[in-house]
Amino acid sequence: MSCWMPGCPALSMCRGLAALPITCLERAKDLKTRLGILLHKPELGHRIGTSSKLQLGSRRRDSSREVLEWRESFDQLLKSKSGVTAFHTFLKTEFSEENLDFWLACEDFKKTRSKTKLASKANRIFEEFVQSEAPREVNIDHETREITRKNLSGATSACFNEAQAKTRTLMEKDSYPRFLKSASYQDMTKQATSCGMSKRSHT
């Protein structure tokens, strides 16, 4: 689009973009690409109904600010859909994604209103993640495992609370700090910080 008039919006937009350093524009484009790849990972999720939480669309791209907020606390990371996706991708490299999948399954389970579905979902989650030698067994102690087993006899939305809390603590204390130190996240934060500073200096 071209325009020779002095007050043309297109001309103003071009001048605004031209004022930004090339490196900033390149970093922003690269960061957008990286997030786009994470948001379209088809293999994310698990088999018990919460995979839709991780199969994120491209309608909303996380800003540089949100990427930086992931390091403020584990809660901030879990509140961000693409933050969860990025963390899940990292956990796959450590072969421990079942911890996050179990946590997400429990979050989905708590929203179930039908008593019939509640019982069937509880059994599936227990068989997949909790029981000894489960296909995707999470790392919880024997006592918590047995408490959860007993809870299944009268399944309520709270029957996995203790096991979920133990798994969350494990991720927060162990996996989350390693995620923040990982090369992929460090690279994303450097790009976000650098581009953010460049934009502020040209406003």
pLDDT at position 64 is 83
Residue 56 lies in domain: 52-198
pLDDT at position 31 is 59
Q: Which amino acid is at 197?
A: M
Q: What is the pTM of this model?
A: 0.67
Cα separation, 108 vs 199, whole angstroms: 39
Cα separation, 64 vs 192, whole angstroms: 5
Say which residue the tokens 């996380």 belong to: 62
Residue 97 lies in a domain: yes
Taking alpha carbons only, the member of 136, 130, 121 closest to residue 166 is 130
pLDDT at position 35 is 59
Cα separation, 128 vs 91, whole angstroms: 18
Q: Are 154 and 103 in contact (CB under 8 A)?
A: no
Residue 44 lies in a domain: no
pLDDT at position 199 is 53
Which tokens go with 33?
A: 């690409």
Residue 75 lies in a domain: yes
Residue 4 lies in a domain: no
Q: Are 100 and 88 in contact (CB under 8 A)?
A: yes
Report, as ranges of residue numbers, the positions in the chain whose pLDDT lies below 70.
1-63, 195-203
Question: In the chain, how many domains are there?
Answer: 1
Which CATH number does the domain housing residue 146 bear? 1.10.167.10
The pLDDT tens digits for 8-63 are 544 444 444 445 455 554 555 565 555 555 555 444 444 444 433 443 333 334 46
Residue 26 lies in a domain: no
Residue 26 CB neighbour total at 10 angstroms: 12
